[in-house]
A = this chain, B = another copy of it.
Amino acid sequence: MRRPDELRGLVEEHLARLALAPELGGLEDVMRYTLDAGGKRVRPVLCLATTEAAGGTAESALPAAAAVELVHTFSLVHDDLPALDDDDERRGRPSAHVRFGEAAAILAGDALLAEAFRLALSYPTPDVARELALATAGMIAGQYLDVTDGAGDLAAVNLLKTGRLFEAAVGCGLWSAAVPEGEQEPWRAFAREVGALFQLVDDVLDGDGFAARYGDVEARRLADEAAVRARARLRELDVEASALLEIVDEVAARV
């Protein structure tokens, strides 16, 4: 089983070589700019590690993993827009709408979503694409709740806004390894804990969400609990899951 760093290398290489629809023309530059902004590629690496833990090969899951990362990038580009979170920077660089203008950012986000489905549809069966369509609708619903109902149920928002795509990353990994639907739930329970952990750590790092509402100490305590539950779910799976365990540790220790 390959370690997360090696899987991350596969993801970066695949994304760099990704053939986008040729007619996208100049819009491809905007899409590449947002895709290249990098980050730790947690979702696609989680997808590949899941495939390997479930007995498949990471290479077979690369289009699915890339599709998940494109959906994530689409959501960042649109969330950064002035009408939504109004963020001028993303990972130390100007966000897409600051660099290329709002029109280009909106259309680049749209095109990232369309291309994500094209990638997800490169498989002979529709499972990966179905997984992604459901997760995307949920994620958008979470963002809508977040911008319209600041006083609402944070856990419910996070389960939609972050949890759905984490579950889809694991789900796409399972489909790539041909794990039957009836055997997927324990893996998905693990994915939801990793999603909760990721969001809680994010809240502590950004000083919002749970950290803003209940304080850093409480948010960190909830994160630690989610990490403990994620590791327990992995043990229950009873597979060689050292890469997945390492991903949990990385997400928990993120600074």
Interface residues of A (CB under 8 A from B): 21, 23-27, 74, 78, 81, 83-84, 101-104, 106-107, 109-111, 113-115, 117-118, 121, 123-126, 129-130, 132-134, 136-138, 140-141, 143-145, 147-148, 160
Contacts and interface: CB of A to CB of B under 8 A. Distances in A.
11 contacts: A23-B160, A24-B140, A78-B110, A81-B106, A103-B144, A104-B144, A110-B110, A111-B140, A111-B144, A115-B133, A121-B133
Copies of this chain, tallied across the complex: 2
Given A104-B144, A144-B104, A148-B26, A130 B121 contact: yes
A187 B47 CA distance: 40
A101 B160 CA distance: 22
Contact of A118 (B81, B84, B137, B144): B137
A147 to B, nearest CB: 5
Nearest to A135: B114
Contacts of A148: 26, 103-104
